[in-house]
């Protein structure tokens, strides 16, 4: 039963028990691969809450979590909220320099880091023993329940906060979306719970809706299929486009009637990749559009409207001069709010797109900064990138403007720069064609799996 969203705050921790930890004691909420029942999770959270208090957490303070995806991460996150604290989520892959800068800025009372990590690099959920240390003795700088750093695919990360009321409201929105996993079903969880898709769409929704969360043993196509096959209950795979590629190239050894659909967030899925996945597995490939600042914005979980999505329940999307704006009652940014990003209840997404006036469906066209002028002619880099990505032998591509159009291309090893140039000559007008082509075995990605679009990072990757 939901507590009224407006009553929830960082200092009112009752929402954790009401929304997330309730339910029958014997229900399995996590499978790692051993089942974790709700009564066991409640005991673990209570024990962690006592340790955080002993380490210096006070209601209204903050805890920085620098943990890989693990039972320890889940327990300490819920314990922080249950103790009336703000959770600062730091991706465990950040450098010490990045972490130190975040800690100085946000000033948590307690920092939780791994004292020991077992399992190996490709484990989706690690076996972690945590270490708690006091950091400072001041309250959190804002009333947000969670503070995250944006993925920074096109530039520096932003510090984004969301209140408990906002998290509760988003979990409620998930329960109304057609196609989400239902009680008694499973979510095969691939994205990191440090970021919004894995955090809210996976962990928080799963706990609230009594959907079992099952991270596969390893990040491989075979391991994901094995996790689906391990039980008879229906399973939805939640991931990002990178994970679709894994599954599109993996053939199941036996039919998997439990596999009901895959849902992806993040960047747009190339049409060729979507077709390869559906040809291989014969299940719907759903799409979600969202942002760290507001969570889920639109969905098409049955794959009926690709590339368009329908606004999520309670979310309003506008098209203003070719840009998508989304309703957002308060600024999501910690510290000074940039009026060019948020004002008067609206967040400017910086995404180009259209809203169909008849159906309300939203189509994302790419980033606004993808429009460039070449010889006085407008070129949409998103169009060029889609053309490159659709070529046979291309796994992924990033197209940027760096004094001219430059394409950084990840291939399967069968193409040369000459091959690519010849193929693009057939498909793109001369002024649209990349003047620079760079082939890489692996394009750089952010910690959430998004392709990095920084020209400096792309140049560095080629060297």
Question: Taking the domains of the chain in order of start, what are their residue ranges?
Answer: 5-168, 176-368, 375-462
For residue 8, what pLDDT band results from cuts at 50, 70 and 90?
A: very low
The CATH class given to the 5-168 domain equals alpha beta
The CATH class given to the 375-462 domain equals alpha beta
Query: In the predicted model, is pLDDT for residue 337 greater than 50?
Result: yes
For residue 155, what pLDDT band results from cuts at 50, 70 and 90?
A: very low
Query: In the predicted model, is pLDDT for residue 15 greater than 90?
Result: yes
Per CATH, 5-168 and 375-462 having the same topology is answered no
Which pLDDT score, from 0 to 100, does residue 151 have? 55
Query: In the predicted model, is pLDDT for residue 6 greater than 70?
Result: no
Which pLDDT score, from 0 to 100, does residue 115 have? 93
Task: Supply 338's token pair.
Answer: 């940039």
Measured in whole angstroms, the distance separating CA 420 from the mean position of its chain's CA atoms is: 31
Question: Residue 271: left (phi > 0), alpha (psi -120 to 50), or beta?
Answer: alpha
C-alpha Rg value of the chain to the nearest Å: 22
Are 88 and 63 spatial neighbours (Cβ–Cβ below 8 Å)?
yes
For residue 157, what pLDDT band results from cuts at 50, 70 and 90?
A: low
For residue 10, what pLDDT band results from cuts at 50, 70 and 90?
A: low
Which pLDDT score, from 0 to 100, does residue 153 have? 47
**Residue listed under structure tokens 């994901």:** 224
CATH superfamily of 176-368: ANL, N-terminal domain (3.40.50.12780)
For residue 1, what pLDDT band results from cuts at 50, 70 and 90?
A: very low
22/270: higher pLDDT: 22
Are 389 and 272 spatial neighbours (Cβ–Cβ below 8 Å)?
yes
The tens digit of pLDDT for each residue in 175-221 reads 999 999 999 999 999 998 988 999 999 999 999 999 999 999 999 99
Q: Where are the beta strands (DSSP E) in 27-126?
A: 28-31, 35-37, 62-65, 86-89, 110-118
The tens digit of pLDDT for each residue in 265-323 reads 877 777 778 888 999 999 999 999 999 999 999 999 998 998 899 999 999 999 999 99
Residues 6+ apart with CB under 8 A from 288: 197, 201, 263, 264, 265, 296, 298, 299, 300, 301, 309
446/391: higher pLDDT: 391
The tens digit of pLDDT for each residue in 59-115 reads 999 999 999 999 999 999 999 999 999 999 998 888 888 888 889 989 999 999 999
Query: In the predicted model, is pLDDT for residue 356 greater than 70?
Result: yes
DSSP string, 214-267: E--SBSSHHHHHHHHHTSSS-EEEEE-HHHHHHHHT---SS--TTEEEEEE-SS
pTM above 0.75, yes or no: yes
Query: In the predicted model, is pLDDT for residue 7 greater than 70?
Result: no
Q: How far apart are CA 314 and CA 176, in angstroms?
A: 10
Query: In the predicted model, is pLDDT for residue 330 greater than 50?
Result: yes
Which pLDDT score, from 0 to 100, does residue 9 have? 47
For 390-396, what is the mean pLDDT? 89
């Amino acid at each position: 039963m939901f507590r009224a969203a407006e009553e929830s705050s960082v200092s009112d921790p009752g929402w954790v028990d009401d929304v997330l930890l309730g339910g029958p004691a014997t229900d399995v909420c996590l499978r790692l691969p051993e089942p974790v029942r709700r009564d066991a999770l409640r005991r673990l959270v209570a024990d962690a809450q006592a340790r955080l208090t002993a380490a210096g957490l006070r209601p209204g303070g903050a805890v920085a979590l620098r943990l890989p995806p693990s039972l320890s991460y889940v327990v300490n996150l819920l314990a922080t909220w249950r103790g009336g604290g703000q959770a600062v989520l730091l991706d465990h892959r950040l450098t010490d320099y990045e972490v130190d800068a975040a800690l100085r800025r946000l000033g948590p009372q307690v920092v939780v880091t791994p004292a020991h990590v077992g399992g190996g690099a490709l484990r989706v959920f690690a076996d972690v023993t945590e270490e708690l240390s006091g950091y400072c003795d001041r309250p959190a700088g804002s009333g947000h329940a969670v503070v995250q750093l944006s993925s920074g695919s096109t530039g520096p990360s932003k510090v984004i906060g969301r209140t408990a009321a906002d998290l509760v409201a988003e979990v409620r929105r998930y329960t109304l979306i057609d196609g989400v996993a239902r009680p008694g079903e499973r979510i095969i969880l691939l994205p990191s719970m440090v970021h919004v898709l894995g955090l809210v769409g996976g962990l928080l929704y799963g706990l609230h809706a009594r959907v079992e969360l099952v991270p596969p043993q390893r990040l491989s196509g075979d391991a994901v299929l094995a996790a689906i096959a391990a039980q008879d209950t229906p399973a939805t795979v939640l991931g990002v486009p990178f994970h679709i590629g894994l599954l599109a190239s993996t053939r199941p050894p036996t039919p998997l009637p439990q596999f009901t659909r895959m849902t992806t967030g993040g960047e747009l899925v190339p049409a060729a990749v979507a077709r390869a996945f559906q040809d291989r597995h014969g299940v719907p490939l759903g799409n979600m559009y969202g942002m760290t600042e507001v969570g889920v914005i639109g969905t098409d979980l049955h794959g009926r409207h690709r590339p368009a999505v329908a606004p999520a329940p309670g979310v309003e999307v506008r098209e203003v001069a070719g840009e998508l704006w989304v309703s957002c009652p308060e600024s999501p940014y910690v510290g000074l709010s940039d009026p060019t990003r948020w004002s008067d209840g609206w967040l400017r997404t910086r995404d180009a797109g259209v809203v169909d006036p008849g159906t309300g469906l939203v189509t994302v066209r790419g980033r606004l900064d993808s429009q460039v002028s070449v010889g006085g002619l407008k070129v949409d880099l998103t169009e060029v990138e889609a053309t490159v990505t659709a070529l046979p032998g291309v796994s992924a591509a990033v197209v940027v403007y760096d004094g001219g159009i430059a394409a950084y291309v990840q291939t399967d090893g069968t193409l040369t720069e000459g091959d690519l140039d010849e193929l693009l000559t057939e498909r793109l007008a001369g002024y649209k064609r990349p003047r620079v082509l760079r082939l890489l075995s692996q394009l750089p990605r952010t910690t959430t799996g998004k392709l990095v679009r920084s020209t400096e990072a792309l140049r560095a990757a080629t060297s």
